[in-house]
Amino acid sequence: MNQLDKDLAKQQGVGTIKARIAFDQGIHIARDDVRRVMLLHEPEELDRQDPGAKKVHRTPIVPVGIHERWSGDGHDKLYKIGFPIWAVADFATGNTLGAWVLPSNRFAVLVAYLFLTLVLKYKGSFDQSIDRFLM
């Protein structure tokens, strides 16, 4: 029950709850027992995670315009051989605004610097950009 209470979004399934109990408390419980407790105390959340359950209603994100929203991401597929990549794409058009090979795409200062260079390149406002980046 403690582990179920920790899942505020109620999105963890039986396997995740079972693994978290084993990790946090060192107690290994059978999957069927975890499922039985979840069915008893939170049946509606468990039904939502069933493969045959109704789909969660999603609404599409409609971009307002070019440069309204950017998407930055680190690409780790080449990280093992020394080529970590960080790239930024415009959400509305899908165009790549910039891509860099870095020593590491996990350094926040480096990523922030590259983000702000794009803001300068596209003549954006630092005040709004920094606020959006820090959110």
Confidence of residue 77 (pLDDT cuts 50, 70, 90): confident
- Spatial CB neighbours of 111, under 8 Å, sequence gap ≥ 6: 72, 74, 86, 105
**pTM (2 d.p.):** 0.50
Where b means 16+ CB within 10 Å and e means fewer, 119-131 reads beeeeeeeeebee
Confidence of residue 87 (pLDDT cuts 50, 70, 90): very high
Question: Encoding tokens for residue 39?
Answer: 């069915």
Amino acid 88: pLDDT: 93
Q: Cα–Cα distance between 74 and 55 in angstroms, integer?
A: 30
The domain segmentation of the chain, as residue ranges, is: 2-48, 70-134
Amino acid 55: pLDDT: 64
